[in-house]
Structure 1
Amino acid sequence: MDLELSGRVAIVTGASRGIGLAVARTLAEEGAHVVAVSRTAGGELPGKALHVAADLMDPQAPARVVARAVEEFGGVDVLVNNAGGPPPGVTLPRVGFLTPDEEDWQAMFAFNLFSAVRMIRAVLPVMTGRGGGSIVNVSSGTARQPGPMNVDYGAAKSALNHVSKAVSEEFGGQGVRVNTVSPGPVLTDWWTKEGGAAEVIAGMAGASKEAVVAEVAPGMMKLVTGRLVRPQEVADVVALLASPRSGSTTGAEFAVDGGFLKEL
């Protein structure tokens, strides 16, 4: 299926690895001009992608990213707000409401909510000036399934869901579609790296890191598929939402979570 993305300009944040890298590759394969945003360049970015180094904890960074995209390609048609997860220097999971302190909460919201809000604010005038575009915000299943683990992260993603719906309502008439993709646990280095989530949970569960990835985590999260989500599975949904083929889809949320979310 032709996603009609050839020649379109797409900004992807958090593009150096994991979901963001998979999204950048997929959009590039579909012919889009990809502006890949991350603090450092990933060695596996598509050859045609333009890497823009940016720390999205810096409030001025989103405007500079959008300006660079306009300078290089003349505009922006797609924004994928994928940057998120643990703020730089933070290891998750954290268990218990009282575990994160004031600074932890502020950093979590700065990285998972405010960076996306600033990217949206920076790109909207460009998109509306071109007659519209597509914004895809990468949220999390924990946004709608609260619990004592990573409560600050889930709260920030819940707020992102609210922003997505509100912006879709306000700017839909100007041709801007806004949708949300909510992954469950995705098999990225967030899980597998040294000191990552798999090792943290292994210490809590008395299991090996490998067992956590293969069995413990899928069981703990009651994943219907029995395994963690693959980054490409998320990227494929993002690409479809970015495409004009999804022209009547806006204000929607799509779970790509292996059956993690149980509620209607």
Structure 2
Amino acid sequence: MPSIAIFGAGRALGLSTARRFGRAGYDLDLVGRTDATLERLRDALRADGLDASLEVADLAEPGQVADVVDRLVRRRGAVPDLVLYSPGDVSRLPVAAPDLTAATLRSWLPLNLLSPVELVHAVLPGMTQRGSGTIVVAQGSAVRTPAPALASSSVPQAALLNYLAAIAVEAGERGVHIASLQIGQLIERSAAAELFAAGRFDDVEAGRLPSIDPDELAETVWKIGHAGGPLEVATLPAA
């Protein structure tokens, strides 16, 4: 049975993706920062007749990524067929480009650059040996259309996009598909959407933002997972 591992699983994109793949017969592995969050997600899936295995890891600590992959491989006997990296960080406001110092940027690197690189490094050998696999990284659309107010996250994510493009060609030749899912909308039912509605981000992005149902994003992840070739960039809304 194929499997999907969702790194940074949350109540919006992570849960919707788990439901989409679970209904298609995939084994589900959810990776998140706290037991409480993961248990709530598993309860929601069980209400739909699905189940998931849970792994606790802080994705702001790159060293924990390889440990999680090792545990998944020991349990499943192989690396996942599809990996989605989609952590949300609402613990702090993004820092605009004029205020972004080297020291501040360094604190944004682990979640937005170092950990996903470590994840690719951990799963790619097993995928290429098998001759199949998909790695999807959720990013903000500011990686291609700069948004000065979001520089603290978009700058390292843009570096990550360059890395994904650099590694995707050879990976594609060996049966592994790599994709950047670039989201330019507020994801409904997410923690960020809740905080935005409460005015938390007014100093960054005042007013209304277009929103998107995470079920729509999950369907895009599904389509990416059954595509192929070199780096795929899926931009929502479409460019």
Give 1:42 shift: 4.7
Partner of 1:36: 30
Rounded to whole Å, the distance in 2 between the matches of 1:152 and 1:72 is 36
User: What aligned pairs does 1:124-139 form with structure 2 within 5 A after superposition?
Assistant: 124-139=124-139
**TM-score computed with the length of structure 2 as normaliser:** 0.86
**TM-score computed with the length of structure 1 as normaliser:** 0.78
The one-letter code matched in structure 2 to 1:43 is R
Partner of 1:22: 16
Give 1:130 shift: 1.6
User: What aligned pairs does 1:82-121 form with structure 2 within 5 A after superposition?
Assistant: 82-86=86-90, 89-92=91-94, 94=95, 96-121=96-121
- Which runs of 5 or more structure 2 residues have no equivalent in the other structure? none
Matched, 1:156 2:156: yes
Matched, 1:80 2:87: no
Rounded to whole Å, the distance in 1 between the matches of 2:222 and 2:111 is 23
| Change over 3 Å in CA distance of 1:197–1:166 after alignment to 2 | farther
Give 1:198 shift: 5.2
SS in 2 for 1:109: helix
Partner of 1:256: 236
Rounded to whole Å, the distance in 1 between the matches of 2:197 and 2:148 is 16
| Change over 3 Å in CA distance of 1:204–1:242 after alignment to 2 | closer
Partner of 1:224: none
Asked if structure 2 preserves the Cα contact closer than 8 Å seen for 1:91 and 1:197, the reply is no
SS in 1 for 2:65: helix
Partner of 1:189: 191
Q: Deviations over 1:201-244 (max 9, x none)?
A: 44678xxxxxx6xxx323xxxxxxxx31121111110111112x
Q: Deviations over 1:16-41 (max 9, x none)?
A: 32212221222112111111111111
The one-letter code matched in structure 1 to 2:208 is A
Give 1:116 shift: 0.5
SS in 2 for 1:177: strand
Give 1:78 shift: 1.0
SS in 2 for 1:43: helix
Q: Select which of 205, 211, 215 maps to 1:228.
A: 211
Asked if structure 1 preserves the Cα contact closer than 8 Å seen for 2:62 and 2:110, the reply is no
The one-letter code matched in structure 1 to 2:171 is F
Asked if structure 1 preserves the Cα contact closer than 8 Å seen for 2:93 and 2:201, the reply is no
Partner of 1:239: 222
Give 1:129 shift: 2.2
Rounded to whole Å, the distance in 1 between the matches of 2:39 and 2:218 is 17
Rounded to whole Å, the distance in 1 between the matches of 2:134 and 2:204 is 41
Asked if structure 2 preserves the Cα contact closer than 8 Å seen for 1:11 and 1:37, the reply is yes
Q: Deviations over 1:98-142 (max 9, x none)?
A: 334434311212111111100000001211222221111111111
- Which runs of 5 or more structure 1 residues have no equivalent in the other structure? 1-6, 206-211, 219-226
SS in 2 for 1:253: strand
Matched residues, percent identical? 25
Rounded to whole Å, the distance in 1 between the matches of 2:225 and 2:204 is 39
Asked if structure 1 preserves the Cα contact closer than 8 Å seen for 2:8 and 2:59, the reply is no
Asked if structure 2 preserves the Cα contact closer than 8 Å seen for 1:233 and 1:256, the reply is no
Q: CA RMSD in A?
A: 2.2
Rounded to whole Å, the distance in 1 between the matches of 2:194 and 2:88 is 17
